[in-house]
A and B are shown apart, each in its own frame.
Chain A
Amino acid sequence: MSRADASPPAPPAPLPARPRPPGDAASDGIVAVGVRRSFGSVRAVDSITFTARPGRVTALVGPNGAGKTTLLLMLAGLLVPDAGTLRVAGHDPVTESAGARARTGWMPDTFGTWDSLTAREVLTTVGAAYFLEADQARERADELLRTVHLEDLADAPARVLSRGQKQRLGLARALVHDPQVLLLDEPASGLDPRSRVDLRVLLRRLASEGRTVLVSSHVLTELDELADDAVFVSHGRTVRESTLASATGERRTWRLRALDPVVLGAWLEDTGVTFRRAADAVPGEPDHSAASDDGSVQVELDDDESAAGLVRAAVLAGVPLVSVAPANGALEQVYLSLEEERR
């Protein structure tokens, strides 16, 4: 653990409050319609259509090789789509490259830093590259170093930063020019738990300031707490676009645990609810409880309402319930169901 990681958790330094009226996706968000991109014979992005709205965090979810990074490269204005249209903060990244770039902050999944420069210099250089005035860039750098908790390492060469710290510096770099749209490719990879929480708080705040935040990841649990909307891509196609709220209204697996598993099992059998014990989890399906048989059972329920009904009935019947919770995160549930459809 580095010094910065070990520093007591300070409340994230606020970015300058920028109250803005909620814009629409066409002028302040991201709109992608039928986007396609191939590399030679490999079709990285086949057909992606989605909307990311300002003021919300949109998760871009998909397995490795689904085309997430390629899509983000196109949104960042680095790649030309073979087909389809893109609008980022009201600008076409192909025909109005500079306009789109001025409003887009991009954090790639793998990136280098100018190793011999200090963290502060990295940020002031990026500021200069966005044509900020020198003092403005310095001020902004200080502010962002506080935001990502790197002020202790501000004057250390970037090469001594750990992977997580570099990741945070990369995030700060994407924010230097106060972008309207943020494109973050696996921003949490390499971050320690504390930094993940900070990242979540920061992204939520950026969204609440009216920015559009698009986060790609395949670590679904971290997106669950962060995202408002989710775009599922697989094999270069949008397979589903939904809000997390609607994802929670889905049929999903719940885990129930009672003081006495036998009583719980007997009651479930009586009421005719099909269930399975955590101990005999279906092979091939991820099951977080399989490792330890704590006597919990899993049931498939249509929505939150039926879950509430089940709990009420169980309590009334005198089942000593200890916990009732969804077995998977909402995103994970949707993701897994999509995987099933694909099979």
Chain B
Amino acid sequence: MSHVVEVVPEPGEAPAAPETRRTPRPTGTWTLRARGLRTVVELELRQRVRSARWRVALGAWFVVCGLVTWLTFRASAQLVGPDYVRYADYDTDEAFGSNLNLTMHVPRGPLIFGLIVFFVLLAGFLVAPTLSAGSINGDREAGTLATLQVTLLSPAEIAVGKLLAGWAAAVAFLVVALPFVIVSLAAGGVRVVSLAVTLVLLVVLLGVVCAIGLGFSALVSRTTASALLTYLTVLALTVGTVILFGLTFPLITQTDEVPTYESSAVDPGIVYQTDENGDTVEVDPTTGLQVTDDDDAASSDSSCTWTTEATSRSHTERTWWLLAANPFVVVADAAPAAPAAARFGVPDPLGEIRDGVREVREGPADREDWCGDGTVAGTTGSTAPVWPWGLGVNLLLGAGAVWLTVRRLRIPQGTLPRGTRVA
């Protein structure tokens, strides 16, 4: 008995009734009206705001964020240097007697920013499920869901309204943490645009987690179960993807016949000789000529040849999406990178993840060039961003959860989820 009930919008809305009756606008499952949404959001937020727990939680959150920021500043000072300035600890020319000219400005900003952003994301992911994972089954348990369902609110309005309210609460946590994220800008090296992009992504990703919590709360009857499932999903996204990526390495590692452009050292080898000046020079044994050691393309070409070599390589281009789906990767990859020159030597966790994941996406090159200037040709050093894919995956998850919730809220219900009561 699984009735699939489509709530059909009424065709001709009762002008038959003689009395002047409010004619309800035709509503379907997916009807979304601003007023309907506002009603649900207001109802949810009102209840949240009035609980004392809520204020305590925000207060504790502020303190924790402050503590973490302070610790991050301390730790980064240990790691990078006492101030914004690190002195190079070598002197090339003692005549100058001073290392003033060798002072390097190493901003701690990217490090602090990255750590704080990741902390806020992590903590947000821990908080968000508690804000949404009880919103449907909790109401059902409290006996307040059915009385809302029988009103003229559509299932979509109830679902999206609850999502927006939970999301707003999660964003409130983000707002409280905001001062500390901004403080990291003061440490230098982080551009405001990075901050803006990162914040937008944090907001979106928190919304996704809220949506997942909402979906589970509509799916299972117990609030503890839905919270647990939401946490497991978050864990799978943040840690599971990385572990899976690691575990699949043997599967994607294979021995390839790779065209390789190598210096001829492979066959005759280069013979080192001492010339008349007493310097060591490289000499091609077949020609007896000296191989110049400069980066001149012509000269390298002359000493390098193409061969096919069996090489064991990991084709991460087949599994990069595992990493891309990771919310932390999404955030790291999306933050606009500082110009390469400004990044040299600066510890930047977000930047390193960004470079790493983009490299992983590229996979090993078709051809390898070990000759010449030493750069590996073929790896074009692609900078194609990975985050749109990851964000897409996350958004799809969230949208799926909302879709499921709306379906679960449709009335009249055919089959009841196991263990649930209607009212």
Are both chains from one complex? yes
Residues of A in contact with B (beta carbons under 8 Å apart): 18, 20-21, 27, 38-39, 73-74, 76-80, 82, 90-91, 93-99, 101-104, 106, 108-117, 121, 125-126, 128-132, 157, 173, 177-178, 180
Asked if A98 contacts B27 (CB within 8 A), the reply is yes
When C-beta atoms are compared, the residue in chain B nearest to A69 turns out to be B423
Asked if A130 contacts B152 (CB within 8 A), the reply is yes
A sample of 19 inter-chain contacts (CB < 8 A) reads A20-B19, A38-B1, A73-B423, A74-B412, A93-B412, A94-B5, A98-B152, A99-B10, A102-B22, A102-B24, A108-B147, A117-B43, A117-B46, A129-B151, A130-B152, A131-B36, A131-B152, A157-B50, A177-B22
Residues of B within 8 Å of A110, CB to CB, are 143, 423
Contact flags B115-153 to A (C-beta < 8 A → 1, else 0): 000000000000000000000000000111011111111
Asked if B148 contacts A80 (CB within 8 A), the reply is no
Cα of A125 to Cα of B35 in the assembled complex, Å: 11
Smallest CB separation, B165 vs chain A (Å): 13
Asked if B43 contacts A114 (CB within 8 A), the reply is yes
Asked if B146 contacts A78 (CB within 8 A), the reply is yes
Asked if B144 contacts A78 (CB within 8 A), the reply is no
Asked if A78 contacts B423 (CB within 8 A), the reply is yes
Residues of B within 8 Å of A82, CB to CB, are 1, 3
Contact flags B1-43 to A (C-beta < 8 A → 1, else 0): 1010101111001101111011011110000010110111011
Asked if B144 contacts A111 (CB within 8 A), the reply is yes
Q: Is B289 an interface residue (CB 8 A)?
A: no
Residues of A within 8 Å of B13, CB to CB, are 99
Partner among A96, A99, A101 whose Cβ is within 8 Å of the Cβ of B150: A101
Q: Per DSSP, are chain A's interface residues mostly helix, strand or loop, or mixed?
A: loop
Partner among A80, A93, A103, A116 whose Cβ is within 8 Å of the Cβ of B47: A116
Cα of A45 to Cα of B35 in the assembled complex, Å: 37
Asked if A98 contacts B146 (CB within 8 A), the reply is no
Partner among A27, A125, A130, A173 whose Cβ is within 8 Å of the Cβ of B42: A125
Cα of A116 to Cα of B40 in the assembled complex, Å: 15
Residues of A within 8 Å of B46, CB to CB, are 114, 116-117, 121
Residues of B within 8 Å of A101, CB to CB, are 24, 150-152
When C-beta atoms are compared, the residue in chain A nearest to B51 turns out to be A116
Q: Is B411 an interface residue (CB 8 A)?
A: yes
Cα of A87 to Cα of B5 in the assembled complex, Å: 17
When C-beta atoms are compared, the residue in chain B nearest to A103 turns out to be B21
Smallest CB separation, A191 vs chain B (Å): 18
Q: Is B244 an interface residue (CB 8 A)?
A: no
Asked if A96 contacts B146 (CB within 8 A), the reply is no
Partner among B152, B413, B414 whose Cβ is within 8 Å of the Cβ of A129: B152
Asked if A78 contacts B24 (CB within 8 A), the reply is no
Q: Per DSSP, are chain B's interface residues mostly helix, strand or loop, or mixed?
A: loop
New contact pairs (9) apart from A38-B1, A78-B150, A128-B38, CB-CB < 8 Å: A78-B146, A79-B411, A95-B8, A99-B14, A108-B143, A108-B423, A116-B47, A116-B51, A131-B36
Residues of B within 8 Å of A132, CB to CB, are 22
Partner among B10, B25, B50, B152 whose Cβ is within 8 Å of the Cβ of A96: B10
Partner among A80, A113, A177 whose Cβ is within 8 Å of the Cβ of B3: A80
Q: Is B77 an interface residue (CB 8 A)?
A: no
Asked if B39 contacts A125 (CB within 8 A), the reply is yes
Asked if B1 contacts A97 (CB within 8 A), the reply is no
Q: Are A98 and B10 also in contact (CB < 8 A) when A78-B423, A114-B43, A126-B151 are?
A: yes
Q: Are A102 and B146 also in contact (CB < 8 A) when A93-B412, A125-B39 are?
A: no
When C-beta atoms are compared, the residue in chain A nearest to B146 turns out to be A78
Asked if A78 contacts B151 (CB within 8 A), the reply is no
Cα of A77 to Cα of B43 in the assembled complex, Å: 23
Asked if B423 contacts A99 (CB within 8 A), the reply is no
Residues of B within 8 Å of A93, CB to CB, are 412
Residues of B within 8 Å of A78, CB to CB, are 146, 149-150, 411-413, 422-423
Cα of A210 to Cα of B57 in the assembled complex, Å: 52
Cα of A113 to Cα of B143 in the assembled complex, Å: 7
Residues of A within 8 Å of B40, CB to CB, are 129
When C-beta atoms are compared, the residue in chain B nearest to A104 turns out to be B150
Cα of A20 to Cα of B17 in the assembled complex, Å: 11
Cα of A31 to Cα of B46 in the assembled complex, Å: 39
Cα of A116 to Cα of B42 in the assembled complex, Å: 13
Asked if A98 contacts B7 (CB within 8 A), the reply is yes
Residues of B within 8 Å of A27, CB to CB, are 16-17
Asked if B8 contacts A96 (CB within 8 A), the reply is yes
Residues of A within 8 Å of B413, CB to CB, are 78-80
Cα of A180 to Cα of B51 in the assembled complex, Å: 37
Asked if A173 contacts B1 (CB within 8 A), the reply is no
Q: Is B416 an interface residue (CB 8 A)?
A: yes
Smallest CB separation, B404 vs chain A (Å): 19
Asked if A77 contacts B423 (CB within 8 A), the reply is no
Asked if B19 contacts A111 (CB within 8 A), the reply is no
Cα of A116 to Cα of B22 in the assembled complex, Å: 30
